[in-house]
Structure 1
Amino acid sequence: MLQINPYDIDMLKNINEKRAWEIISVFLEHNPDMCICKSCILDLMAITLNSLPPCYHSEEHNISAARNKVSDEEIYRKMKEASIIVKSRPRHD
């Protein structure tokens, strides 16, 4: 079998994604009207992350692309915008 990428991509982490998962609990505390079913939470995160620049970090060498790191406030604001979309078009039953 042809091996194109011999590197372990699990060593790359998107810092903005990690931070968004940390912020979501605070967001949900302040937005009790947000549905917390699996579909709505995953949609909320997908829309939020798609609106943020990626900021990948190599765990092996602790190198990060700090120029793409956004503030917690910006992540929260993007999450708020995403929640409006999810609430207007929920995909759950």
Structure 2
Amino acid sequence: MNRKVILSNTAEKKLNKLFDYLIEKWSVKVKNEFIEKLDLSINVIKNQPEIFPESKVKKGLRKCVVTNKTTIYYRFTSKQISIITLFDTRQHPQKLNKEFKNER
């Protein structure tokens, strides 16, 4: 099934910030390698969104580990995938709770 992928404002901001960080601290090559992993993860989510576990932090969300430092939180319907946020797993988990309180 070909679901449309929608990024929340939060997810878009975090992704752009992550791209800037990867280029500044590492290299364009590292950024491009991350994009490849992200694209692969999103393609799996599009085709089999239920394959990833439900989040214990917020009911109705699922989580996909893209790298050992980055996790995508998303929800899905038969027509679309809504990426709610990207989370840096090195942060304290309570920061994630705060993000979800602002999410509808």
Q: TM-score, normalising length from structure 1? A: 0.34
More strand by percentage: 2
Q: TM-score, normalising length from structure 2? A: 0.31
**Which structure has the greater CA radius of gyration?**
1
Q: Which has the higher contact order (CA 8 A, sep 6+)?
A: 1
